[in-house]
Structure 1
Amino acid sequence: MEDLTNVERAVELLQQLGLKEYEAKCFVALTQLPSGTAKHISEISEVPRTRVYDAVRVLETKGLVEIQHANPQRFRAVSIEEAAQTLRAEYESRTDSLRETLQGVEAATVEDEVDVSHEVWALSGSAAIATRTSQLIEEAEEEIVLVVGHELALTDGLVDQLESAQDRGVSVIVGTVSESLREDVRALLPGAEAFVSELGWLSSMAAADDDTEITRLLLIDRATILVSTAHSNAATKEESEQAVFGRGFDNGLVTIVRRLMATGLFPVDGPPSGAAGEGASSDAS
């Protein structure tokens, strides 16, 4: 991705927002000019001149380009800020329409029965993982135990969600991998119990040849667990995030992680009051 020029990256992003290739190329070309003719646009964008007119007409209907009816016709792009606002509004409108349409789709019936005690799911991408984390926190009724393996996982949005959970009476316990991060948690969430975890293997520094880092462990009401990891690709310098989560008190993944939390999560002086240790110890008996 870093090998792309700004022009190529802009064209790619515009296509992701719904423009066709020639439309995206013509718009980017016009952002490089105060105004231009079809000939100018074709020379800069490498879009065939005969196709420039069709592309520009579409851009005009979308509110991204203005046309001067001279001879020859001249075209200019709206400001970058105005274009961004226009595309954002169209994207949000399509998203809202998609939500309403999908909600109107009738549920299909199948004969398979899902065994909740073996429910384990995987997902990828930081946005998807953050959304799932938020949903699980919103479902909490009694207790949230969160171990932050990397400071970047402690986002403003996550802090707001934990505060909301506290407001509805949920006990929030946060473990960190460093003293400095614990102090940050105490400042951000004064109502939560914060401590430095004894799980040193959470950090990628624990193994010099390991480029995968556990970013968070989340345990909800001793029955739902989410574990997320971040992997760095040394060749591309890109970082990807994956997670698994499971539900059900008898779920093997939930049981294993709950026992790990009971035996190695808390500092040597014992778990904070009301933490997951009691529920986990019953598993080991």
Structure 2
Amino acid sequence: MDEEDAVEALTRLGLTTYEARVFVALQQLGTGSASDIAEITAVPRSQVYGAAEDLQSRGLLDVQQTRPTVYRPVSPEEAERRLLSQLESVGQDAFAYLDDVRGSADNDEERSEAIWTVRGQPNVRDRVIDLIGDADERVVYGTPDPELLEEELLAALQAAAEDGIDATVVSDEPAVFDAVPESIETVRQPADDQPEASTARLLLVDSDTLLMGVISADLGDDGEIAFWSAGTSFATVLSILSEEMIELDG
């Protein structure tokens, strides 16, 4: 890494370019005046004062009130601690705001039914795990393929069961049931009542969330594609129909 790389990295941590250049120059000098700094870096002396004032407000340098004013930077270790702490604080504030405003501009009078698609088996698995984590009362997961009862997914089902969620695995394959821990209920679905063979997995959550995955050679490298919907009338209707087909107890 050279000086320009260091300046760029510091700007990514929240400093302006002038602030970053002044701070790097002071690390080279140890202590220095605005004139000293301007001599070794591409910052006009008139701009050094403002940059130094901002660096002082960040706790990154000390100021000696002499004529001329002399600046002394904190150590790189202290600067790292302060900048990362400030960056974390700003990030937390930003994401807290996003949580507060999420959905605030929705038009409740007219809203389209949200149906989403996910491509790729790892991405489908991760979406299934996320939806299981959102469950309040009930989770039903069905698959004819033991390979789609991934370790992470099983852990999510078991965690839900331990939290008091009614967790059920549906299949007609003994190998699937062999992988299911005792804390999770199992329901055998006769092969004649199973969906088409291309249906890789089915997830129902709280009777208003549904995910259905399909595997097909036509999907190429993606392998699996799934659609899912949560909190919509579409998901509710399909969930009811699916539960009736599986003959789950209500």
Tell me what 1:80 maps to: 76
Shift of 1:8: 1.2
CA distance in 2, matches of 1:162, 1:248: 14
Tell me what 2:48 maps to: 52
CA 1:258–1:84 in 2, change beyond 3 Å: closer, same or farther?
closer
CA contact (8 A) 1:67 1:76 kept: yes
3-state DSSP of counterpart to 1:104: helix
**Superimposed CA distance per residue, residues 185-223 of structure 1 (whole angstroms, 9 cap, x where no aligned partner):** xxxxxx99xxxxxxxxxxxxxxxxxxxxxxxxxxxx825
CA distance in 2, matches of 1:222, 1:114: 22
Q: Is 1:222 the counterpart of 2:218 in the alignment?
A: no
Shift of 1:258: 11
TM-score by length of 1: 0.46
Q: Is 1:165 the counterpart of 2:156 in the alignment?
A: yes
Structure 2: 5+ residue runs without aligned partners?
A: 133-138, 162-166, 168-178, 181-199, 204-209, 225-250
Shift of 1:51: 0.5
CA distance in 2, matches of 1:39, 1:131: 56
CA 1:136–1:113 in 2, change beyond 3 Å: closer, same or farther?
same
Over aligned residue pairs, what C-alpha RMSD do you find? 4.4
CA distance in 1, matches of 2:222, 2:46: 68
Identity within the alignment, %: 31
Shift of 1:60: 0.1
3-state DSSP of counterpart to 2:29: coil
- Choose the corresponding residue for 1:249, options 208, 212, 232: 212
Tell me what 2:129 maps to: 137
CA distance in 2, matches of 1:131, 1:252: 13
CA distance in 2, matches of 1:35, 1:131: 53
- 2:67 counterpart letter in structure 1: N
CA contact (8 A) 2:201 2:214 kept: no
Once the two structures are superposed, the pairs formed by residues 122-133 of structure 1 within 5 Å of their partners are: none
CA contact (8 A) 2:23 2:73 kept: yes
3-state DSSP of counterpart to 1:75: strand
TM-score by length of 2: 0.52
- Choose the corresponding residue for 2:99, options 99, 103, 124: 103
CA 1:24–1:166 in 2, change beyond 3 Å: closer, same or farther?
same
3-state DSSP of counterpart to 2:85: helix
Shift of 1:90: 1.0
3-state DSSP of counterpart to 2:212: coil
Tell me what 2:188 maps to: none
Shift of 1:56: 0.2
Shift of 1:63: 0.4
Aligned length: 168
Shift of 1:41: 1.2
Which structure: larger Rg? 2
- 1:249 counterpart letter in structure 2: M
Q: Is 1:32 the counterpart of 2:24 in the alignment?
A: no
**Superimposed CA distance per residue, residues 134-188 of structure 1 (whole angstroms, 9 cap, x where no aligned partner):** 6653445658958xxxxxxxxxxxx9x6795375279xxxxxxxxxxxxxxxxxx
CA 1:102–1:93 in 2, change beyond 3 Å: closer, same or farther?
same
CA contact (8 A) 2:128 2:153 kept: no
3-state DSSP of counterpart to 1:89: helix
- 1:109 counterpart letter in structure 2: N
CA contact (8 A) 2:63 2:70 kept: yes
**Superimposed CA distance per residue, residues 257-281 of structure 1 (whole angstroms, 9 cap, x where no aligned partner):** 89958xxxxxxxxxxxxxxxxxxxx
Structure 1: 5+ residue runs without aligned partners?
A: 123-129, 147-158, 171-190, 193-220, 225-246, 262-285
